[in-house]
Amino acid sequence: MTEALFPLDAALIADQARARGADRPDVGSQWRLSEIQIANWGTFDADIHRIPVSHKGHLITGPSGSGKSSLLDGIAAVLTPDKWLRFNVAAQTAGSRVDQRSLVSYVRGAWTRTADSDEDRVVSKYLRPRATWSGIILRYDNGTDRPLSLARLFFIKGSGTKMTDLSDVCILERAGLDLADLQQYARTGLETRKLKTEHPEALITSNGSHARFYARMRKVFGMASESALQLLHKTQSAKSLDSLDRLFRDHMLEPPVTFDLAETAVNQFGDLKDAHDHVVELRRQRDHLLQLREASNRCDSAHESAAKSIALNDALLPFQKRRELDLMRSDLSAQRRELVEIEVAADRAKKDYDAAVDEYDLARRATLDLGGSEAEHLQQRIDTAETERRAIADRWASLERQLKQADIDQVPTSAAEFAELQAQIAATLDNETQAAGPSHADHDRFSKARARVRDLEAEIDSLRRSGSTVPGNLLQIRQELAEGTGLSEKALPFAAELIEVDPDHAAWTGAVERVLRPLALTVLVRSENLGAVRSWVDSHRIKGRLVFEEIPAQAPKPRPVNSAKSLVNKVTVAETGFGDWVHSTLSERYDFACVDSPDELDDHPRAVTIKGQIKTSRTRYEKDDRRRIDDRSQWVLGDRESKLEALIAALKEAQAELAEAQAIVDAANAETAQAHRRKGILAGIREQSWRDVDLAGAKETIAALEKALRELEDADGDLQQAIGAEREARAAKETAETATRDSDYALRRANEEITGLRAGLSRLEDDVNAGRIPEVDPTIAEQLEARFTRIQRSIKREALPEIGQQVSQALQSEKDKAQAMASEAGQAVTRLAAEFKAAWSSVASDLTADVADRHDYLAMLDEILAHGLPDHENRFRDLLRQRSRDLIGELLNEIHAAPHEIEDRVAPINSSLLRSQFDEGRYLRLKVKTRRSQTVNAFISDLRKVAGGTWGDEDMETAEDKYDTLAEVMRRFASSEHVDKVWKNQCLDTRLHVSFLAEEIDDHGRAHATYDSGAAMSGGQQQKLVIFCLAAALRYQLADPDEAISKYGTIILDEAFDKADTRYTRMALDIFIEFGFHMVLATPQKLLQTIEPYVGAATSIENPSRQKTLASTMVWAEGSDNADEESSGDAVDDADAGESNDES
């Protein structure tokens, strides 16, 4: 069997071994694997398998799928911490990273995978499906000390296949352990306590907590760090190390301290963040209190204006009385001067009248002496007739106006026509019916139109004042609710104020409004405010219908919509504290599909058409067209300006309708009034007679009398002359009499005026002297005088009361306006104080939200502006400067220095590489090249921005900019998001900032070729390059720089050199031997002749049944001409834990 497995000439093997042994370093005290014991591991089933390992080197070979990798994975399960443990990696391609093998599958003995028709999936078949145990022992010897045994026992209960069903124990003891002795502690369950009792000198750890086990193992083996164990495990699948970058980044270089610096920066950033948050809070307080100060100033100014108006109004009557007193004195003085002139004029008029009377008497006697009595009688009759004519003329003009008002154009000119008119009037009055006036429908139309106009005006006013599209009556209810509970209206929003139809879907607004209206007019109340709101609502009569809903602190996440046509996709929600709840509620209650036709309603459980037909369940439909669907004045969602335009348009229509309705009512009322007036006019005319209006007859009478007088005068010339003289004298007497009467009246009025002025003056002086008219402050008097003068420049005493009334009205109006402004400003102060107290309760704990406390808030503002904010801004800048210098500066320096430090770390590797030729006359030399990505360069730029600059010259804006940059960096450092983790690793892992080049140099150090991570090389060359560097990295990790060889020597390679030829394989093995490593190699029956000189034994692994692994070992003696075959025991059937696929 051995001859078939190892067809090599024994003498050749011995010669090669002796030849190479001459150059090997002394490894007498090096810990090397000497024996493997394994039981119930994969397809190593049922029995305990013992495999001796040659001190020189060992080969494990066999066909693919036989169990080679299972054996190596068993070794890895003991030597490698679980966090790095990956099985059968050598069989995985670069693109395959799914681990199908695990500790559980090995303990269970998974040997193939079959389809489960019941569960429609592929499942593993196990050799040990019930409770079972597994065990592995690795024995190490160094030729001088007691052997070291590393063991790991497993037990899995029942039929479980989860890691939680698996328990384990690790054992480290300076003695030769045997699984035959240890199985008693694992067959029925791990007996850790008993094991510790019976092996007191052993280090025993259990249940996955094996840090002490690996620490002790590394101490014995002289390994400085855990990364040495990781590198050893990675070496097992060395063919997967296809890049110098991967080798050095992942397995040689320690994780950089930049991660610790970043973590420290994040931890210490809290102080800086707190300082910045405090500055931000103080700024928010400042900005809020500045608003309060502005409102307080308006309030104070308004109160001052109101007080000034009140003071002026209070002083108005005394000022007016004193002003009247001054004017009265002035008027009395003027009146006295005028009285003297009037008295003189009266005496002159009296004398003129007496002379005119004497002249008239003489003229009248002369007329009488000539027989003028008859002429006098005729003149008297003419005068009487003229008086009657004037009266008749007035009645005729009145009749003419009345007939015109009664719509009668023909005025009677004779008694007959007047009689005919009287008859017509009588017939009209007897037959005329009562005018009906406006109908009930006319009145109803007018009333509704007027109410509509008032409602629209109120809505427009409410919308302009509040900025909310919610109806005014609901806003009034909310205002009362807010005032009653002490909450701000912002804390009680309507859902309509948070939802808006997406402009891209504006055509659906009417339909969306109909669906969402119940939600839109709901008041949203946070849980902490619910009790106060319910209590107020229950104890008050609500003037309308109020719906409110509790909003929890944590809203559930929105559900996915059922259709891309969902109404939810056609609206946007304001990002406020209520936004999450609104999003969730929309998705849960209003996931209505927006369909284009009624037929599509069948496709959805809830849907709406663009014309407003709503399907609310499988069987229920609704359409409410009481209002037009496109009536924007009724919409409540979102766009304020659009609704305002719609309301204004609707108001214009309503005003036009009101004007038309009012015109109809007014016309009917006017017609009724006109009918009543006409009836009254006609009735009055019917009571008149023709004699009352016979103007022509009156004129004829006067003409006859004047004719008789003329005839009498014409008969006597002297009489005619005397009559003329009498007429002139009589006219002169009448004129003088009139002048006398006027001057007497003027004199009487002047005396009366003076008497009145004296009485009023005396009364006012008494009031002033008695203090009933108080003194007026000169400043106030000056202001009042200016107001009086503005109304009338020259003030008369008679106009003083009217001017005073106008000034009083103006002052009252100013006072009312000022008080309204004070009230509005006071409400603003109260609201802002309440908001401040709610936002910063601890700062304002001793203050109330009352206007009276506003000065305390302003004192707080003064303190913030004078000390609080500047002091905290300075502290923030100091902390930012300190953190930027200490943390970011150090991190930046570390990143910049990393390439040089890596070069220093690579230097000893280069020294190691110079110990062996890479090719004939050629050596390898590693070079480090800095290659930072754009992401890293941007990150470094941000760090420089934060840490750079001259801090003494920087203002707060620059500091804020630096802080924002730093805060974003800290956020990404602390983030658990995948994209941020990737970014953080790219920026902080300085190993990724460099790339490794390998130069092929000659004895003089001249470079002949450069390899960039194995690029542009054949598979064998690439593997050779990485193996060369791997050997150097292993020596670096396992040995001190001053030691010739490492204390630990066993290196395991699975499927090693599968792409390399014989020459390259031999050269790579020489490298490992040169560094003093003990090689355990696994290969699928290839390169055996090349490898055999480097090992002292070989184990053949076979698994003909696929369920039982068989192992046989051949060991040959050093210096023997013939290979002696020794078996590790009888040929046993061993089982592989691998699947049915081949292993490479």
Q: Which residues pair with 571 in a beta bridge?
A: 501
Q: Which residues pair with 802 in a beta bridge?
A: none
Structure tokens, 498: 């948070």
The continuous run of DSSP H or E covering 96 comes out as none
Check: CB of residue 1034 under 8 Å from CB of residue 1078.
no
Residue 369 pLDDT class (50, 70, 90 cuts): low
pLDDT surpassing 60 at residue 1119: no
pLDDT at 608: 94
Check: CB of residue 156 under 8 Å from CB of residue 108.
yes
| Residue written as token pair 């070291």 | 148
Q: Report the distance separating Cα 563 and Cα 182, nearest Å.
A: 64
The continuous run of DSSP H or E covering 52 comes out as strand 44-52
> How far is residue 878 from each of residues 104, 218, 261, 685, 1111, measured CA to CA in Å?
57, 47, 20, 106, 72
Strands (DSSP E) contained in 722-881 are none
Q: Which residues pair with 614 in a beta bridge?
A: 608, 622
pLDDT at 550: 93
pLDDT at 1: 35
438-453 pLDDT tens trace:
778 878 888 888 888 8
Structure tokens, 134: 């597994």
pLDDT at 6: 37
pLDDT at 538: 92
pLDDT surpassing 70 at residue 464: no
**511: how many CB neighbours lie within 10 A of its CB?**
24
Mean pLDDT value across residues 526-543:
90
Structure tokens, 412: 């009677």
Residue partners of 114: CB distance under 8 A and separation at least 6: 122, 123, 125
**C-alpha angle 626-631-637 in degrees, rounded to nearest 5:** 105
Cα dihedral value 412, 414, 419, 423, nearest 10 = -30
Q: Report the distance separating Cα 246 and Cα 991, nearest Å.
A: 10
pLDDT surpassing 70 at residue 36: yes
Check: CB of residue 306 under 8 Å from CB of residue 824.
no
Check: CB of residue 781 under 8 Å from CB of residue 319.
yes
DSSP string, 241-273: ---HHHHIIIIISPPPTHHHHHHHHHHHHHHHH
**492: how many CB neighbours lie within 10 A of its CB?**
19
Position with higher pLDDT, 213 vs 84: 213
Q: Report the distance separating Cα 171 and Cα 206, nearest Å.
A: 9
Check: CB of residue 492 under 8 Å from CB of residue 523.
yes
1067-1081 pLDDT tens trace:
778 878 877 899 999
pLDDT at 280: 87
pLDDT at 32: 95
pLDDT surpassing 80 at residue 607: yes
**444: how many CB neighbours lie within 10 A of its CB?**
11
Q: Enter the DSSP assignment of 162.
A: S
The continuous run of DSSP H or E covering 513 comes out as helix 509-520
Q: What is the 3-state secondary structure (H, E, C) of 347-404?
A: HHHHHHHHHHHHHHHHHHHHHHHCCCHHHHHHHHHHHHHHHHHHHHHHHHHHHHHHHH
pLDDT at 641: 63
Nearest to 322 by CA among 752, 769, 759: 769
Structure tokens, 484: 């009653």
pLDDT surpassing 70 at residue 120: no
Number of H helices, E strands in the chain: 31, 24
pLDDT surpassing 60 at residue 51: yes
pLDDT surpassing 50 at residue 1138: no
Residue partners of 1124: CB distance under 8 A and separation at least 6: 1114, 1115, 1116, 1117
390-434 pLDDT tens trace:
887 887 777 777 777 777 777 777 777 777 777 777 777 767 666
What is the separation of C-alpha 751 from the centre of its chain, rounded to a whole number of angstroms? 86
Sequence ranges of the domains in the chain: 2-241+1053-1115, 470-638
63-92 pLDDT tens trace:
888 888 899 999 999 999 998 888 877 665
Query: First and final CA of the chain: distance in angstroms?
Result: 23
pLDDT at 172: 96
Give percent of the chain with pLDDT exceeding 70.
85
Position with higher pLDDT, 1128 vs 591: 591
Q: Enter the DSSP assignment of 1007.
A: E
- The single-letter code of the amino acid at 149 is S
**769: how many CB neighbours lie within 10 A of its CB?**
9
pLDDT surpassing 50 at residue 632: yes
* 69 backbone dihedrals φ, ψ, rounded to 5°: -65, -30
Strand ranges across the sheet with 593-595: 593-595, 607-609, 614-615, 621-622
pLDDT at 186: 92
pLDDT surpassing 70 at residue 22: no
Check: CB of residue 832 under 8 Å from CB of residue 291.
yes
| Residue written as token pair 């009499």 | 737
Q: Enter the DSSP assignment of 1029.
A: H
Q: Report the distance separating Cα 874 and Cα 368, nearest Å.
A: 125
Q: Which residues pair with 231 in a beta bridge?
A: none
pLDDT at 712: 62
pLDDT surpassing 50 at residue 602: yes
The continuous run of DSSP H or E covering 472 comes out as helix 472-485
pLDDT surpassing 80 at residue 645: no
Mean pLDDT value across residues 280-292:
88
492-531 pLDDT tens trace:
999 888 888 888 888 898 899 899 999 989 999 999 899 9
Q: Report the distance separating Cα 791 and Cα 794, nearest Å.
A: 9
Nearest to 278 by CA among 830, 880, 974, 962: 880
Check: CB of residue 729 under 8 Å from CB of residue 359.
yes
Half-sphere exposure of 635 (CA within 13 A, CB side): 26
pLDDT surpassing 90 at residue 606: yes
Alpha helices in 557-604 (DSSP H): 579-589
pLDDT at 17: 39
Q: Report the distance separating Cα 784 and Cα 232, nearest Å.
A: 105
Check: CB of residue 134 under 8 Å from CB of residue 167.
no
Of the ranges 234-243, 533-542, 1126-1135, which is most confident?
533-542
Q: Enter the DSSP assignment of 885.
A: I
Please, what is the average pLDDT of the chain? 81
What is the separation of C-alpha 628 from the centre of its chain, rounded to a whole number of angstroms? 34
Q: Report the distance separating Cα 820 and Cα 302, nearest Å.
A: 8
pLDDT surpassing 80 at residue 929: yes
Check: CB of residue 698 under 8 Å from CB of residue 384.
no
| Residue 960: strand, helix, or coil | helix
- The single-letter code of the amino acid at 587 is S
pLDDT surpassing 70 at residue 131: yes
Position with higher pLDDT, 371 vs 369: 369
| Residue 345: strand, helix, or coil | helix
Q: Report the distance separating Cα 1115 and Cα 1097, nearest Å.
A: 4
pLDDT surpassing 70 at residue 50: yes
Q: Which residues pair with 168 in a beta bridge?
A: 154
Check: CB of residue 491 under 8 Å from CB of residue 530.
no
Cα dihedral value 627, 632, 635, 640, nearest 10 = -160
Computed on alpha carbons and rounded to an integer, the radius of gyration of the chain in Å comes to 60
549-600 pLDDT tens trace:
999 988 888 888 888 899 999 888 887 788 889 999 999 999 999 999 999 9
Fold for 2-241+1053-1115, please state it.
Rossmann fold (3.40.50)
pLDDT at 433: 61
Residue 854 pLDDT class (50, 70, 90 cuts): confident
Nearest to 234 by CA among 1029, 974, 1065: 1029
What sign has the CA pseudo-torsion 764, 767, 771, 773? negative
Position with higher pLDDT, 464 vs 893: 893
pLDDT surpassing 60 at residue 20: no
321-335 pLDDT tens trace:
888 888 888 888 887
Structure tokens, 104: 């559980």
